[in-house]
Structure 1
């Protein structure tokens, strides 16, 4: 019977087959680790939907889906870091300054904001089946425009659309992987590939330029990756329909004690969703500002060559990738169900690292070591935040709430680099001289994230210790 089709509305307490119940593991609760069996198909609102295993060890299809997702995050990493890698060529070819280049980040933030507000609605309209390939097509617009060297005004306009593609994909993939078994480890792996993309970007871009290729030809590489990923998304996510997403939303409401359906205003005004969004906003802004502006900081303030600058920048990203990969497993084993404590530890260590970077940036070896130290402990912070949100938010917020958190939080990765660009060109005499304040800027951002998590941990320690979900009262 497990492969049959059933009508949800016909189930009653007397005739309900208990083999179809979602165990605690599917409810993503603390410490659940039970065997389970669920039906392959069910009927929901007149549509047949497929419910496969959420355990990657049991499903080949799920493993392939995760593989496609991690490649998507590698592409996002390559694309995010690309502006930092070609910054000097953009400044030269477009005869502009860093303030105007920063508009590319700011307009992308607008796209992210639209995505965060509309992601839940788009998922209900399209499901991952439609959202995934459409997001990839949108992401292809910016590399195409830069390769074609369209006008700078056009680039600024397209960057907003680009942010929409990044934002919808980012939210949806975090939500999908966050709902799987071993979510801590899988999210760590997924975001490790983001770091891998950021690591590849400056090295490969510099290599191509030194081999005689034009700087804009690097974007053909990004377009090739997107094309491969697009094919995988079409074939592997055909079962992730809008009806399946709506069913999952309904399950969240039914598992919450109130059983109420959520209005969008209720989601975005919830104090815990605001808190998690603010944490991600600050953290992601700090992380990407470090990666994007580090290359230019070394090139302009310390007079490094472009090759040496790319090596140090890539060292930051490889440390970041290693941290996301290894610390996600350590978090999963040593801090299972107590990830908030891990976040406080990681944030504290990162703050110490940025202070060392600020104080000893004139000592080459200490500077590079502190940069790698920061990268390593920054690594797991995004994925751990998503896991904490999914485990501690009231159950009714688990799906729609996390989508909003990821979208609003990701805006930090565009706003904070933009602000650093303004500082670079408007302080210390301008024309990039303001990059001298870059280390202090990173200290302030990471210290702010540290204070947020420390305050949250202290205030809600009793609830976290008892493995309960947060109360909105």
Structure 2
């Protein structure tokens, strides 16, 4: 009699515990389900926090991303001053970009392990401190080798902050809207940075004093991070350290991560090629400016003057910033997957008009519209990824995807320059059309998002 009473007890205790950490796979998430369908028994349901409860963290992260835009956009504007200051050619300047990308790559592989030990706030503070150190070394014009090394520090710092910010903001209530804001402030930083850098470098003999401005902003950034995350620094999620390695392995082999990473690789390549923050060109016939390929195209192919068309690149970044702000809600309400295709079609139409209509004013308007329509791509990709992936993969996945995008920012402007040096800057137009078409193919392969998030 006693055995028939005690035998069921272990099963009654063990079964719920075995189901506690079930997460649906990409395939389970990729099929639409009823919005009223209940989550599976034993599933862990993540409830996004209200913005009001994390407003200081959001403010801090937006400021960090704004500083990232300032850092990324400044180098291209300062290249004409770096070369004579250090008596180096374009090949040596290109090393700056490669070292910066190396910093991003290291961050992609270490982000998940640092988060498992320091928590979100701790990694944000580490990233902000590394960036502060980079600008502290840059503003006194150190020897060239040390100046190059500062870009490793800056790349690491920005990448750590970028992954944490995107992961955190992707998990709040109405994430689509706040991701749009987050990436819009990056665009704002990229918009104002070349203007500030050019003003300082052209009106004073001390081009390096731009980094004193960046240092002051970075100091405020560290203070904001420390204040916003003070209670959570050094407090990682429960169990994060034990699964850090396995989470990284899952990330780099996940189909969704690979597809969105490739999409970002092409998208950021398009953004930087069109937007005017290219790395230096390879050896070949000298080009007229370092403002970007669009400016080069308008000067060489449209007969524009550098003094007037130099502002066209700013129009692109202004359009991109507005697109991320104004299209966030429209994209979410009409369907993120659907609207990216709509924006790609509009972008192709705009780009073809730019290519085929030889008019400076029309071209300036078209490049601003191109920035406007492609602006939502990165925040929308992050939003979709956070819905398709389990919560514990958000930080490593976003770090990996962002690094892949950074690779595109280095690869495509350089490749465009390599071809342009041989056949002319007119190659910009077919390159941009091909990049947009390839993005459409990759986006079509990304799994569909379930209406129910678990």
Bin the TM-score by the shorter chain.
0.7 to 0.9
Q: Retained in 2: the 8 A contact 1:354–1:442?
A: yes
> Does residue 386 of structure 2 align to residue 390 of structure 1?
yes
**Mind listing any 5+ residue stretches in structure 2 that lack a counterpart?**
1-11, 17-28, 37-45, 279-289
Corresponding residue for residue 327 of structure 2: 327
Distance 1:325 1:69 in 2: 17
Correspondences of 1:399-414 after superposition (within 5 Å): 399-414=395-410
Instruction: Mark the CA change 1:155 to 1:353 in structure 2 (over 3 Å): closer, same or farther.
Output: farther
Structure 1 stretch displaced more, 234-243 or 140-149:
140-149
Pairing partner for 2:374 from 367, 378, 385: 378
> Which protein is richer in helix relative to its size?
2
Pairing partner for 2:355 from 353, 358, 362: 358
Corresponding residue for residue 453 of structure 1: 443
Q: Which whole-Å deviations, capped at 9, do the CAs of 1:31-60 have from their partners, x for residues lacking one? A: 989xxxxxxxxxxxxxxxxx997111x42x
Q: Retained in 1: the 8 A contact 2:295–2:310?
A: no
> Does residue 159 of structure 2 align to residue 132 of structure 1?
no
Corresponding residue for residue 431 of structure 2: 441
Q: Retained in 1: the 8 A contact 2:269–2:413?
A: yes
Pairing partner for 2:163 from 167, 171, 191: 171
Correspondences of 1:342-353 after superposition (within 5 Å): 342-353=339-350
Q: CA deviation at 1:82?
A: 0.4
Pairing partner for 1:111 from 100, 103, 107: 103
> Does residue 148 of structure 2 align to residue 153 of structure 1?
no
Q: CA deviation at 1:195?
A: 0.5
Distance 1:296 1:92 in 2: 20
Q: Retained in 2: the 8 A contact 1:393–1:469?
A: no
Q: Retained in 2: the 8 A contact 1:111–1:161?
A: yes
> Does residue 49 of structure 2 align to residue 54 of structure 1?
yes
Q: CA deviation at 1:395?
A: 5.9
Q: CA deviation at 1:384?
A: 0.4
Q: Retained in 1: the 8 A contact 2:35–2:451?
A: no
Structure 2 length as normaliser, TM-score?
0.78
Q: Retained in 1: the 8 A contact 2:351–2:366?
A: yes
CA RMSD of aligned residues (A): 3.6
The count of residues paired between Structure 1 and Structure 2 equals 405
Q: Retained in 2: the 8 A contact 1:262–1:396?
A: no
Distance 1:249 1:469 in 2: 25
Partner SS state of residue 263, structure 2: helix
Q: Retained in 2: the 8 A contact 1:249–1:399?
A: no
Distance 2:47 2:151 in 1: 37
Instruction: Mark the CA change 1:403 to 1:310 in structure 2 (over 3 Å): closer, same or farther.
Output: same
Corresponding residue for residue 196 of structure 1: 188
Higher relative contact order (CA 8 A, sep 6+): 2
Distance 2:262 2:349 in 1: 21
Corresponding residue for residue 45 of structure 1: none
Corresponding residue for residue 254 of structure 2: 270
Partner SS state of residue 172, structure 2: coil
